[in-house]
Chain A
């Protein structure tokens, strides 16, 4: 059974120290597109936690039987299989959400975070801790998504999760809903994150491989 301390370590690393988006600038392709509304980001985040945790688990279980040179392909196929499950569930139960997210659900496959965790953690660790590592990284990603979406939806529409939180006097910042708003918001959040928790090594920040 996994130790509590180890579990805590995995979570602080995934959420703060090695947060995939702030620290490694991975996986922001899909991160930005769905951040115009909080509910979209939340659903996307939950989907990503599901895919990331279960694909880490699966990769870890079969890690001893996977030939080294085709492991990337195997990982991609495992991830695709879970993404298909997410896509089908969304289509069946939340067709509106599925339409709003458009191609970005499918793009979870090419999200570097999941691939990165499978490759760097799940490939070397036992199934259970890989599973929790996947969840932790997914949470870190969701946290970033929702925080970007919080500001974009609040400033852009004056609402949170679709509920109006400010009065009629609020003038919507149309700019925030448009793509540049996402870029600026993300840059500001990275700035804040880097200032609050300085990176231990410079190489982590610039090391975003893809």
Chain B
């Protein structure tokens, strides 16, 4: 895995192994928040920022603190603490400087902590043994891919608001079907590059 070009990783993590559409990560907020394009964009930006930041920090902690002391098994706890602290920081900064964005994201910012995509990227980074530059590319790419998916979904969902949908399928059911169709479309990219 060491020889893969970071740009390929960046590209692949946006399109071919998209966090949501190929790895099912970050589904919870994906379904709950994707009703409006504006909110989705805000959350997408926040996720991209947090995922890049935490991947870098987690890389440094894992390779310079945990591995030398043989404490790899503690990585779950360490990663989640890093993520929680980082999200807290971002929340304070946004509240101070971008109050509008803060109000529109409201409750969802703290929930980034339990967004599976964030922890998932850090865990994938360890499992796939990425180098520092590769990890940065992977973090940015995953965030962008997540944003792309949630933006596309919220766009489709806004159009669907007036559509007649069977009662049992309303809400999450139809959202999952749309996501499935999007995943199907993204499989078309899979011939270009692959990092798995």
Contacts and interface: CB of A to CB of B under 8 A. Distances in A.
Determine if chain A interacts with chain B.
yes
A25 B123 contact: no
Interface stretch (A11-19, A158-166, A179-187): A179-187
A180 B187 contact: yes
Contact of A76 (B80, B176, B184, B187): B80
B27 interface: yes
Contacts, number: 144
A25 B183 contact: no
A27 B176 CA distance: 14
Contacts of A136: none
What size tier do the contact residues of chain B reach?
Answer: 35 or more
A112 interface: yes
Interface string A176-195: 00111111101100111111
B35 to A, nearest CB: 10
Q: Which of B21, B114, B120 has the most CB of A within 10 A?
A: B114
Chain A interface residue bracket vs B = 35 or more
B22 interface: yes
Contact of B28 (A26, A103, A109): A26
Contacts of A205: 170-172
A128 B160 CA distance: 45
The 7 closest A-B pairs by CB, nearest first: A183-B180, A103-B123, A194-B168, A187-B176, A29-B116, A210-B111, A32-B24
Interface of A: 25-33, 73, 76-77, 80-81, 83-84, 87-88, 102-103, 106-107, 109-112, 115, 178-184, 186-187, 190-195, 205-206, 208-210
